[in-house]
A = this chain, B = another copy of it.
Amino acid sequence: MNIAEIAKLAGVSRAAVSRYFNDGYISQQKREAIRKVVEETGYRPSVQAQTLRTKKTKMIGVIVPKVASASIGRIVEGVLSVLNESEYQALLAVTQNNPKRELEYLSAFHDKQVDGVILVATVLTSEHKRILKALSVPVVIVGQRLTGYCCVFHDDYHASYDLTKLFIEKGRKKLGYMSAIQQDKAVGAERYRGFRDAVRDMGYEELTDNFVIVSFSVASGYEKTKELLEKCGNPDGIICATDTMAAGCMQYLREHKIEVPKQILVAGQGDSEMARITDPPLTTVHYSYEKSGQIAVQMLMELLGQGEAALKEVKLGYHLVEFN
């Protein structure tokens, strides 16, 4: 069943049938004739033929470091919920935090497989920037700020700052910090900077050896807690860059009979389900991950609609989550 057959059955030209589906000029009678034939035959235009002709695939490439992660899962959920409502579909690529893969996909999408790209980023190297520049379709970056690109990200700095301030106001004097790699500007560098600045602004001595760097897993948080405790002497508070790390940290403290929050108060960031499950629950920060995914799609849609993309950079708010 193709457009020619439908045209013949309806007694019109192929162009008319095409117009029928694309709201072109077409008289009532023909419209009705075509509608009838289409209904009877169940005809649907071939997506591939349309794509070949129009150069629009109606697909968005979504690149994520991993998918089995609370925060990223929520971003993806947000992206897809909005995409659901549109005519676009999502081509998902997982890089497994392998920069080579990330670049691969970025350029795979390059040859016009997709109409646009949403890049959920952790580390952005100069290589990334090079490829992004060469990308022929619009792109929106989620989770990181990159000057010159449309991006939606979180106020990591102030969130971490406020969290730290809260700890100090609660009387915690000696804080340790569990950080992500610094190459991750948002989750690594910014959150750590927020911590340090808060400590300094609150009048405490600015230490440079009160933190450890861990990777995004419970196990890693667990493993590095010992080192952090040693580095800090006897901290009475530990702030972590993510809930996942914090959960690992809690696990270590529990096993070593260190009382939380009595001896050490622990905070994570991300407001994941994990934060509510540890005993006691983690103090944490809520970042609007779903929302960032949703907004990313909206921005991309504006870019695709060739509107002059009013939104360029969107920084989302946050709020502290405290359990008593």
Q: Are B68 and A76 in contact, with the CB atoms below 8 A?
A: yes
Indicate if A250 sits at the interface (CB-CB under 8 A).
yes
Indicate if A274 sits at the interface (CB-CB under 8 A).
yes
Indicate if A232 sits at the interface (CB-CB under 8 A).
no
Residues of B within 8 A of A31 (CB): none
Closest to A243 in B: B277
A216-244 CB contacts (< 8 Å) to partner B:
218, 244
Indicate if A99 sits at the interface (CB-CB under 8 A).
no
Q: Pick the interface stretch among A8-16, A88-96, A172-180, A195-203.
A: A88-96
Contact flags A52-92 to B (C-beta < 8 A → 1, else 0): 10010101001000111110011011001100100001111
Q: Are A47 and B250 in contact, with the CB atoms below 8 A?
A: no
Residues of B within 8 A of A77 (CB): 66-68, 94
Question: Which of B62, B94, B112, B247 has a CB less than 8 Å from the CB of A277?
Answer: B247
Interface residues on A, range: 35 or more
Indicate if A206 sits at the interface (CB-CB under 8 A).
no
Residues of B within 8 A of A62 (CB): 92
Indicate if A322 sits at the interface (CB-CB under 8 A).
no
Residues of B within 8 A of A67 (CB): 67, 73, 76-77, 80
Q: Are A84 and B94 in contact, with the CB atoms below 8 A?
A: yes
Closest to A114 in B: B89
Closest to A109 in B: B89
Residues of B within 8 A of A94 (CB): 77, 80-81, 84
Oligomeric state, in copies: 2
Indicate if A276 sits at the interface (CB-CB under 8 A).
yes
Given A48-B112, A80-B94, A250-B277, 20 other A-B residues pairs in contact with their CB atoms under 8 A: A44-B111, A48-B52, A49-B52, A51-B51, A51-B52, A59-B91, A62-B92, A67-B76, A68-B70, A68-B77, A69-B73, A77-B94, A80-B93, A84-B101, A90-B93, A91-B91, A218-B277, A274-B274, A274-B277, A278-B278
Contact flags A275-289 to B (C-beta < 8 A → 1, else 0): 011110000000000
Indicate if A259 sits at the interface (CB-CB under 8 A).
no
Closest to A282 in B: B277
Indicate if A254 sits at the interface (CB-CB under 8 A).
yes
Q: Are B89 and A90 in contact, with the CB atoms below 8 A?
A: no
Indicate if A113 sits at the interface (CB-CB under 8 A).
yes
For the complex, give the distance between the alpha carbons of A279 and B101 in Å: 38
| 17 sampled A-B residue pairs with Cβ under 8 A | A48-B57, A52-B52, A62-B92, A67-B76, A68-B77, A69-B73, A73-B73, A77-B94, A80-B92, A90-B92, A91-B92, A218-B277, A247-B273, A251-B276, A274-B277, A277-B277, A277-B278
By Cβ-Cβ distance, the 6 closest A-B pairs, closest first, are A68-B73, A279-B279, A92-B92, A80-B94, A48-B52, A48-B51
Residues of B within 8 A of A93 (CB): 80, 89-90
Residues of B within 8 A of A68 (CB): 70, 73-74, 76-77
Indicate if A22 sits at the interface (CB-CB under 8 A).
no
Closest to A94 in B: B80
Closest to A74 in B: B68
Closest to A274 in B: B277
